[in-house]
Amino acid sequence: MRALRAVAGLVLGAALLAGCGPSPSGDGDDAPPKAPTASVPGPTGSAPGPGTSPDPTASPTAGRVPAPGETLVRVTRSGGFAGQTHTLIVKGDGSWTLLDARAKQERTGTMPEADLAALRTALQEADFAHLPRIATGGPTIYDGYFYAFVHGGFEVAGDQGSLPPALTKVVDALPSFTAG
């Protein structure tokens, strides 16, 4: 009898640890607790009402010029023949930093005003809010690059051969990922 109680205690303990026991509320409902839901502020700064979803194109940074110290765009490029990863961060004032795969600073600089204006135009024309999050369908470029862009609260990524022309214009407007 003592052995049976010990086994029953172990089984009950294991069931409680696994979340299969009675609910903490004691109401007899053994359903797992519901995950809390968060609401995303809409364009007016208020949370959407019940049964509504936030506007996916609304972004607190979309359409506004970032302050000089704020990030305008962050682009990570990985792959290539050598399989390297670099991240280029361009600030609102045109200053930029190139980081290696370990986020160690490699180079810094400042874009000339004309180049910064061209980058801003390319970013605006790319319309990140309406781009697919992952660009697909282009030709495979062996030893090509994979790009991940972050701009205006949106993330977009794709292989070099799959990037839409608007993102190719953004890449062309960026400072070089390589020295020289």
**In this predicted model, what pLDDT tens digit does every residue of 40-94 receive, in sequence order?**
333 333 334 444 333 444 444 445 566 667 899 999 999 888 888 999 999 999 9
**In this predicted model, what pLDDT tens digit does every residue of 95-104 receive, in sequence order?**
999 999 999 9
**In this predicted model, what pLDDT tens digit does every residue of 7-24 receive, in sequence order?**
334 333 333 333 333 433
Residue 160 neighbours by CB distance under 10 Å: 20
Lowest mean pLDDT among 43-52, 105-114, 135-144: 43-52
pLDDT of 85: 94
77 and 22 part of one domain: no
pLDDT of 66: 65
24 and 85 part of one domain: no
In a domain, 2, yes or no: yes
163 and 99 part of one domain: yes
At residue 179, what is the residue type? A
**Boundaries of domain holding 124:** 71-173
pLDDT of 65: 62
pLDDT over 80 at 147, yes or no = yes
The pLDDT of 22-33, averaged and rounded, is: 42
Q: How far apart are CA 102 and CA 95, in angstroms?
A: 21
164 and 77 part of one domain: yes
Give the residue from 91, 156, 157 showing the smallest Cα distance to 128.
Answer: 156
**Rounded to two decimals, what is the model's pTM?**
0.62
* CB 100, CB 179: distance < 8 Å: no
In a domain, 42, yes or no: no
Q: How far apart are CA 118 and CA 124, in angstroms?
A: 10
> How many independent structural domains does the chain possess?
2
77 and 152 part of one domain: yes
169 and 89 part of one domain: yes
